[in-house]
Structure 1
Amino acid sequence: MADAGSVSAQATAAPPATKGPRAGSGNGRRELLAATVGGVVESFDWTIYAVLAPYFASEMFPGDDPVAKLLGAYLGFAVGFVVRPFGSYVIGRISDRRGRRFGLMLSMILISGASFLLAALPTAAQIGVLAPLLLVAIRLVQGLSMGGENPSVAAYVTETAPKRLRFLYSGISYSGIILGNILCFGVLTVMLAVLGEDGVADGGWRIGFVVAGLLGLLSLWVRRTARESEEFTAGATDAPSAVAAAERRALFRASARNMTAVFLTTLGITVSYYFGTTYLPQYAERLGLSSGAEGTAAMLVPLTLLIVAMAASGILADRLGSTRTVRTGLGLLAVCTVPVFHAMGAEVLPVWVATVVHLLCLAAPLALFNVFFARLFPVQIRVVAMGLPFTAAVGLFGGTFPMVAEALAGAGHIALVPWLAAAACAVSFAATFLIRRPAHA
Structure 2
Amino acid sequence: MSINSKRLKSIVGGSAGNLVEWYDWYAYSVLTIYFAPSFFPKADPTAQLLNAAAIFAVGFLMRPVGAWIMGIYADRHGRKAGLALSVALMCGGSILIAASPTYAQAGVVAPALLVFARMMQGLSVGGEYGASATYLSEMATRERRGFWSSFQYVTLIGGQLSALAVLLILQSLLTEAQLESWGWRIPFVIGSALALGVYILRRSLSETAAFEAQKTDRPKSSFANLWRDHPHEFLIVAAISAGGSAAFYAYTTYLQKFLVNTTGFSKQTATEIMTAALIVFMLLQPLWGLVSDRFGRKPQLLLFGIGGMIVSVPVFTALGSATSPFAAFGLVLIPLTLLAAYTSIGALIKAELFPPHIRTLGVALPYAIGNAAFGGTAEYAALWFKSVSAESGFYWYITGLIGLATIAFIMLPETKRTSLITED
TM-score by shorter chain over 0.5: yes
Match of 1:111 among 75, 79, 90: 90
Say yes or no: does 1:351 pair with 2:328. yes
Match of 2:210 in 1: 231
CA contact (8 A) 2:58 2:115 kept: yes
Is 1:321–2:296 an aligned residue pair?
yes
Q: Are 1:27 and 1:161, in contact at CA under 8 Å, matched by a contact in 2?
A: no
Change (3 A) 1:121 1:348: closer
Work out which of the residue numbers 359, 375, 389 in structure 2 matches 1:382. 359
Residues 1:91 and 2:91 are matched in the alignment: no
Equivalent residue, structure 1, for 2:384: 407
Provide the rounded CA distance (Å) in 1 between the counterparts of 2:318 and 2:341: 23
Residue of structure 1 aligned with 2:112, choices 133, 146, 153: 133
Deviates more, 1:117-126 or 1:221-230: 221-230
Distance in 2 of aligned mates of 1:25 and 1:396: 40
User: Matched residues in 1 for 2:242 and 2:108: separation?
Assistant: 34
Match of 1:283 in 2: 258
Question: For the residues of structure 1 that align with 2:384 and 2:407, how far apart are their CA atoms?
Answer: 28
Distance (whole Å) between structure 1 residues aligned to residue 314 and residue 15 of structure 2: 34
Which residue of structure 2 lines up, in the alignment, with residue 58 of structure 1? 37
Distance 1:319 1:92 in 2: 30
Give the structure 1 partner of residue 125 of structure 2. 146
CA–CA distance in 2 between the matches of 1:183 and 1:237?
41
User: For structure 2, which runs of at least 5 residues remain unmatched after alignment?
Assistant: none
- Give the Å deviation of 1:247: 9.5
- Tell me the distance in 2 between the aligned counterparts of 1:114 and 1:246: 27
Which residue of 2 is the match for residue 367 of structure 1? 344
Q: Is contact 1:329-1:365 (8 Å) kept?
A: yes
Q: Distance in 2 between matches of 1:333 and 1:246?
A: 35
Q: Which amino acid aligns with 1:309?
A: L
1:368 Cα shift?
0.4
Give the distance between the partners of 1:120 and 1:344, measured in 2 at CA: 37
Q: What does residue range 245-260 of structure 1 map to in structure 2 within 5 Å?
A: 245=220, 249-250=224-225, 252-260=227-235
In 1, Cα distance between equivalents of 2:42 and 2:312: 36
* Maintained 8 Å contact 1:25/1:230: no
Query: SS in structure 2 opposite 1:164?
Result: coil
Matched, 1:392 2:362: no
Does the 8 A contact of 2:59 with 2:122 survive in 1?
A: yes
Match for 1:329: what amino acid? F
CA distance in 1, matches of 2:160, 2:222: 40
Amino acid in structure 1 at the alignment position of 2:420? H
Compute the displacement of 1:106 (Å): 0.6
Deviation at 1:33, TM superposition (A): 1.0
- 1:169 and 1:294 map into 2 onto residues whose CA distance is 33
1:35 matched residue in structure 2: 14
Distance in 1, matches of 2:34 and 2:228, equals 46
3-state DSSP of counterpart to 2:189: helix
One of 426, 430, 433 as aligned partner of 2:403: 426
CA distance in 2, matches of 1:269, 1:75: 20
Q: Cα distance, 1:238 vs. partner?
A: 4.6
The question of 1:102 aligning with 2:81 is answered yes
- C-alpha change, 1:346 and 1:69, in structure 2 (3 Å) is closer
Please state how far the C-alpha of 1:111 moved relative to its aligned partner.
Answer: 0.2
Q: SS state of the match for residue 182, structure 2?
A: helix
Alignment-derived partner of residue 284 in structure 2: 309
Q: Whole-Å Cα distance in 2 between the matches of residues 439 and 343 of structure 1?
A: 41
Residue aligned with 1:287, SS: helix
Match of 1:270 among 233, 245, 248: 245
- Please, what TM-score do these two structures have when normalized by structure 1? 0.89
Shift of 1:96: 0.2
Shift in alpha-carbon separation, 1:418–1:325, aligned structure 2, 3 A: same
Indicate conservation of the 8 Å contact 2:263/2:319, yes or no.
no
Query: What amino acid is the match of 2:244?
Result: I
Amino acid at match of 1:263: A
Q: Is the 8 A contact 1:61 1:129 kept in 2?
A: no
Distance in 2 of aligned mates of 1:217 and 1:310: 27
Mapped to 2, the partners of 1:348 and 1:48 lie a distance apart of 27
What is the CA–CA distance in structure 1 between the aligned matches of 2:42 and 2:249, rounded to whole Å? 28
Q: Over the residues paired in the alignment, what is the CA RMSD in angstroms? A: 2.2
Match of 1:13 in 2: none
Shifted more, 223-232 versus 134-143: the winner is: 223-232
Structure 2 distance, partners of 1:25, 1:130, is 51
Q: Which residue identity does 1:335 align to in structure 2?
A: I
- Matched-pair contact (CA < 8 Å) for 2:81–2:203: no
User: Deviation per CA, 1:8-50, whole angstroms, max 9, x where unpaired?
Assistant: xxxxxxxxxxxxxx9x776721121122112211111111111
Matches of 1:136 and 1:90, distance apart in 2: 20
Moved more, 283-292 or 303-312: 283-292
State how 1:17-32 maps to structure 2 within 5 Å: 28-32=7-11
CA deviations on 1:404-427 (whole Å, 9 max, x unpaired) are 111211221222222222221111
1:100–1:229 Cα contact (<8 Å) kept: yes
* Separation of aligned partners in 2, 1:126 and 1:347: 40
| Letter matched to residue 156 of structure 2 | I
The structural deviation recorded for 1:102 is 0.4
SS in 2 for 1:334: helix
Report the 3-state secondary structure (helix = DSSP H, G, I; strand = E; otherwise coil) of the residue aligned with 2:147: helix
Change (3 A) 1:141 1:25: farther
Distance 2:157 2:231 in 1: 30
The separation in 2 between residues aligned to 1:87 and 1:413, in whole angstroms, is 34
Letter in 1 for 2:312: T
| Amino acid of the structure 2 residue aligned with 1:192 | Q
